Amino acid sequence: MTAHYLVLSGLLFAIGALGVLIRRNAIVVFMCVELMLNACNLAFVTFARQHGNLEGQIIAFFVMVVAAAEVVVGLAIIVTIFRTRRSASVDDANLLKY
């Protein structure tokens, strides 16, 4: 079963990455990042069971906590940007360039 879980995890991760690349709405991009994190968590949990080691679950727990913090800050940034630029598109924030 381990392989199945891992393949699922990889697929979800790839889908999340794809979303990050093709979506322009910053919030959706953020969601895709969350999806990628979740995919990783699934792999952690799977490996915890595979190896009979609880630390995989501990790491997954920490990932969740950090992800929560990241979401809070990230969304605050999006709101701030939206307030000043009237846009939530990641393509509109492109001033930092050559």
Partner 1 sequence: MESPVEIVQHTAGGVIGVSWLMIALPLLGAAILLILGRVTNRWGHLLGVAMSLASFVVAVLAFFELIGLPEAQRRQAVHLWEFIPGMVDMGLLIDPLSISFALLITGVGSLIHIYSIGYMAHDSDRRRFFAYLNLFVAAMLLLVLADNYVGLFIGWEGVGLASYLLIGFWQFKPSAAVAAKKAFVVNRVGDFGLLVGMFIIWTSFGTFAFADLGAQVGTASQGTVTAIGLLLLLGACGKSAQLPLQSWLLDAMEGPTPVSALIHAATMVTAGVYLVVRSGAFFFEPGSPQALAVAIVGAATLLAGAIIGCAKDDIKKGLAGSTMSQIGYMMLGAGLGPAGYAFAIGHLITHGFFKADMFLGAGSVMHGMNDEVDMRKYGGLRKYMPLTFATFMVGYLAIIGFPLLSGYFTKDGIIETAVHEQPVLGWLAVLGAGITGFYMSRMVFMTFFGEKRWAEDAHPHESPKVMTIPLIVLSIGSVFLGGYLILSNRLMVFLGPATGRPSDANLPEFHFASTPGLTTLALVAVGAGFAWMRYGKATVPVVAPRGSFLTTFARRDLYGDALNESLFMRPGQWLTRIAVFFDNRGIDGVVNGLAAGIGGTSGRLRRIQTGFARTYALSILIGAALLTGALLLVGNI
Partner 2 sequence: MGETITFWVLAVVSVGAALGMVFNRKAVYSALMLGSVMLCLAVLYAVQDAPFLAAVQIIVYTGAVMMLFLFTLMLVGVDSSDSLVETLRGQRFWAAIAGIGFATLIVLAIGNAVFAGQTGLAAATAQGGNVRSVALLLFTKYVFAFEVTSALLITAALAAMVLAHRERLTEKATQKDLSRARFRGDRPSPLPGPGTYARNNAIDMPALLPDGSVAEDSVNRYIARYDVEHDHLPEDPKLAEAIQHKAEEESK
Q: How far is the CB of 46 from partner 2 (least distance, A)?
A: 6
Q: Smallest distance, Å, CB 98 to partner 2?
A: 16
Does 5 sit near partner 2 (CB under 8 A)?
Answer: yes
50-86 per-residue burial string, b: 16 or more CB within 10 A, e: under 16: eeeeeebeebbeeeeeebeeeeeebeeebeebeeeee
By CB under 8 A, tell whether 46 contacts partner 2: yes
- List phi, psi (to 5°) of 14: -65, -40
Separation in Å, CA 55 to CA 44, 52, 95: 9, 9, 43
Instruction: Name the residues that contact partner 1, by CB under 8 A.
Output: 17, 20-22, 24, 90-91, 93-98
* Footprint on this chain of partner 2 (rule: CB under 8 A): 1-8, 10-19, 21-25, 27-28, 30-32, 34-35, 38, 41-42, 45-46, 48-55, 57-58, 60-62, 64-73, 75-80, 82-83, 88, 91
